[in-house]
């Protein structure tokens, strides 16, 4: 089969004779129809992250069609249109049983090779996947849009973590009416079957208006946050953030920005902030922008270590949470992409053949064109 292989740091080979996988028991073979280039792939292609050690087929934001099923698979059939979690989890450990599949000690991420394992991903014609990570997609949803389910899930997961403030009641168990169809028991992750999703009130700051940041802006608005403030270095992305729901947008270099944000939020700061870069200056701003007792949700992880304003956190009694991947948000992500409550089309910069992938990787790496999401198609 055809595959785009990272063969060395920042070097790719379009292999037309890559070994085709075969599904084992409990697995399915998926014909990949679309796969997005993730920012983590760009950061990993040159070896900086240590999580894309060549040779490796990258890619984990994908959708496709089932073309074969392994022994024991009964819930899926050939021809089913699917997307899937970027993480393979065991389904049996304490974390998985509690619903925290993103924290499974045996987790493997598609298209990642950090050393202890090598898991080829979706920049290929086909991939074998365990049936437990699959999600159906409606016929009306184009594969290019369905490939956004993974980053949208990441944004929703981060928003789910900002609980315990004015928006905390969004995750309370629903009161069922007698004439309503019973809902599934809540697991606390905010996905489609877990009860009310609309928050009430709340002011949030999103530091970083790249792809995930723009999805976080939309996820917050979709959940009913009253005001969302976006911060970035790129004026075009700030303009897009406002079109997608941000009430205010500020350049990150603006003098006294943290103080200004606190002032416009009533003098003490926002209820929560979301850091979507993973670097020193954005982290500092995210911490200094929230009110006493507020929350800071960390999504970006560009740098392994950053300076930390310890006294600001301690004296203002802030809660710092790391947000890792997603855990049950896929059904809601698919639904919101389909109904448009989270728009992905404005974020789709290009759709290109897989054989042109190396060139698009380089263009994204050079970062001179303002590209957000590029989707590659094997066919």
Checking if the pLDDT of 175 tops 80, the result is no
Same domain, 141 and 161: no
Give the model's pLDDT for residue 140.
96
Tell me phi and psi for residue 296, to 5 degrees.
-125, 120
- Say if residue 9 is in the same domain as residue 94: yes
301 or 250, which is more confident: 250
**Residue 339 lies inside a defined structural domain of this protein:** no
Q: What are phi and psi of 258, to 5 degrees?
A: -60, -45
**pLDDT value of position 201:** 67
One domain for residues 172 and 313? yes
Residue 80 and residue 191 in one domain: no
Same domain, 119 and 217: no
Supply the CATH number for residue 15's domain: 3.90.180.10
**141 and 187: one domain?**
no
Q: Is the pLDDT of residue 3 over 70?
A: yes
Q: How confident is the model at residue 252 (pLDDT cuts 50, 70, 90)?
A: very high
48: Cβ contacts below 8 Å, ≥ 6 apart:
none
Classify residue 331: in a domain, yes or no.
Answer: no
Q: How confident is the model at residue 186 (pLDDT cuts 50, 70, 90)?
A: very low
Domain count of the fold of the chain: 2
Q: What is the CATH number of the domain that holds 315?
A: 3.40.50.720
Domain of 273, in residue numbers: 154-322
d(C-alpha 223, C-alpha 373), whole Å? 24
Which of 97-111, 167-181, 195-209, 247-261 shows the lowest mean pLDDT across its residues? 167-181
Q: Does residue 372 form part of some domain?
A: yes
Instruction: Report the share of the chain in percent with pLDDT over 70.
Output: 90
**pTM (predicted TM-score):** 0.90
pLDDT at position 37 over 90 = yes
19 and 128 share one domain: yes
Sorting pLDDT into bands at 50, 70 and 90, what band is 187? very low
Residues 284, 268 share a domain? yes
pLDDT band at 204 (very low <50, low <70, confident <90, very high): very high
Query: What is the three-class DSSP state of 126?
Result: strand
> Please, what is the angle between helix 280-288 and helix 257-264, to 10°?
30
DSSP assignment of 308-373 equals --HHHHHHTT-EEEE--S-SS-HHHHHHHHHHTSS--GGGEEEEEEGGGHHHHHHHHHHT-S---E
Indicate if 8 and 140 belong to the same structural domain.
Answer: yes
Distances from the Cα of 120 to the Cα of 5, 287, 329, angstroms: 9, 37, 24
- DSSP type of residue 216: H
Nearest to 82 by CA among 120, 29, 24, 36: 29
Largest CA distance in the chain: 62
**Residue 200 forms part of a structural domain:** yes
Q: What is the pLDDT of residues 317-345, one digit of tens each?
A: 999 999 999 999 999 999 999 999 999 99
pLDDT tops 60 at residue 194: no
Pair 136, 183 in one domain? no
Encode pLDDT of 68-119 as tens digits. 999 999 999 999 999 999 999 999 999 999 999 999 999 999 999 998 889 9
Looking at the fold, whether 138 and 164 belong to one and the same domain comes out as no
Please choose, from the candidates 332, 339, 372, the residue with its C-alpha nearest in 3D space to the C-alpha of residue 191.
332
Average pLDDT over residues 45-62: 92
Residues 164 and 271 in one domain: yes
Q: Residue 199 pLDDT more than 80? A: no
């Amino acid at each position: 089969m055809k595959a785009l292989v990272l063969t060395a740091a920042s070097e790719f080979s379009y292999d037309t004779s890559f070994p085709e996988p075969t599904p084992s028991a409990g697995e399915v073979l998926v014909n990949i129809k679309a796969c997005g280039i993730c920012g983590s792939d760009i950061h990993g292609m040159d070896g900086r992250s240590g999580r894309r050690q060549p040779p490796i087929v990258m890619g984990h934001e994908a959708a496709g069609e089932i073309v074969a099923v392994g022994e024991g698979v009964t819930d899926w059939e050939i021809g089913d249109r699917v997307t899937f979690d970027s993480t393979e989890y065991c389904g049996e450990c304490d974390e998985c049983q509690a619903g925290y599949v993103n924290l499974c000690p045996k987790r493997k991420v598609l298209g990642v090779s950090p050393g202890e394992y090598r898991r080829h991903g979706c920049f290929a014609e086909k991939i074998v996947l365990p049936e437990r990570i699959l999600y159906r997609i409606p016929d009306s949803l184009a594969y290019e849009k369905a490939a956004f389910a993974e980053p949208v899930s990441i944004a929703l997961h981060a928003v789910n973590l900002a609980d315990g403030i004015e928006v905390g009641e969004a995750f309370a168990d629903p009161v069922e009416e007698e004439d309503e169809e019973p809902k599934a028991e809540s697991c606390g992750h905010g996905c489609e079957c877990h009860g009310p999703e609309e928050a009430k009130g709340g002011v949030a700051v999103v530091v970083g208006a790249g792809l995930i940041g723009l999805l976080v802006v939309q996820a917050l608005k979709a959940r009913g946050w009253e005001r969302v403030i976006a911060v970035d270095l790129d004026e075009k992305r700030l303009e897009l953030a406002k079109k997608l729901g941000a009430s205010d947008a500020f350049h990150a270099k603006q003098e006294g920005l943290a103080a200004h944000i606190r002032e416009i939020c009533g003098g003490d700061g926002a209820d929560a902030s979301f850091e979507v870069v993973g670097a020193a200056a954005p982290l500092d701003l995210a911490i200094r922008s929230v009110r006493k007792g507020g929350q800071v949700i960390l999504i970006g992880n560009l740098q392994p270590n950053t300076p930390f304003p310890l006294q600001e956190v301690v004296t203002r009694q802030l809660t710092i949470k790391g947000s890792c991947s997603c855990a049950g948000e896929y059904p809601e992500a698919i639904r919101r992409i389909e109904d448009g409550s989270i728009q992905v089309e404005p974020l789709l910069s290009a759709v290109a053949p897989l054989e042109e992938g190396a060139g698009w990787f380089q263009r994204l790496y050079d970062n001179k064109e303002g590209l957000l999401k590029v989707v590659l198609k094997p066919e």
